[in-house]
Amino acid sequence: MGAVTEADRAPKQDRSRATRQRLLEAAVACLAERGWSGSTVTVVAERAGVSRGAAQHHFPTREDLFTAAVEYVAERRSAALRGLFPEGTRATDRAAVVAALVDLYTGSLFRAALHLWVAASHEPQLGPRVAELEARVGRETHRIAVELLAVDESRPGTRETVQGLLDMARGLGLANLLTDDAARRTRVVRQWAHVLTEALG
């Protein structure tokens, strides 16, 4: 065996990172489409074009893979959301910010997270991990919402108004699960952006 040089090592790390990302993205897509009961490491490895052994090297258990996947995609979506409004927002952009926040809950990430949540409610080995993951993602989303809406949380009621908005976004995501709810959602979001602008001052 020849000596491993710096130049060899870097591409290997890149390949490993790329494999990991492919697995995480395939895991979210699989969970969104097939639900928890249809989502196994084998199915995800196949979808990602990775051997089962390589998948297990990255994620020793099924729980590791799927919780990591939801967290990874949530982080990427948060970063993308921040990127949409790079300089924070003025009050005039609030309707766009509300719409963008609601959008976090209507794609395959929300669908995947929902399947994980529901499975966690009666799978003891998932429960605590998913509860912790949700708390972390929830705090981060709240932080982004406060930042993008440019509101002052020290003002009484502001914190709860923003929390209620994110609860509404989650409920809108749920309403979109079985049918395309986009038309109704657009009207609700437009009206609530108006109500919230009044409420947030």
Q: Please give the residue ranges that form the binding site for its own copies (CB under 8 A).
A: 33-35, 37-38, 111, 114-115, 117-122, 127, 130-131, 134-135, 138, 157, 160-161, 163-164, 166-175, 177-179, 184, 187-188, 190-192, 194-196, 198-199
Q: How far apart are the C-alpha atoms of 97 and 64, rounded to whole Å?
A: 33
CB 58 within 8 Å of CB 23: yes
CB 146 within 8 Å of CB 153: yes
For the CB of residue 83, give the shortest distance to its own copies in the complex, in Å.
25
Residue 14 or 123: which CB sits closer to its own copies? 123
Contacts of 160 (CB under 8 A, 6+ apart): none
For the CB of residue 88, give the shortest distance to its own copies in the complex, in Å.
23
Residue 23 or 114: which CB sits closer to its own copies? 114
What amino acid occupies position 138? G
Residue 35 or 107: which CB sits closer to its own copies? 35
Residue 49 or 128: which CB sits closer to its own copies? 128
Q: Distance of alpha carbon 11 from its chain centroid, rounded?
A: 29
For the CB of residue 163, give the shortest distance to its own copies in the complex, in Å.
5
CB 127 within 8 Å of CB 120: yes
Residue 1 or 122: which CB sits closer to its own copies? 122
For the CB of residue 178, give the shortest distance to its own copies in the complex, in Å.
4
CB 24 within 8 Å of CB 51: no
Q: How far apart are the C-alpha atoms of 25 and 171, rounded to whole Å?
A: 24
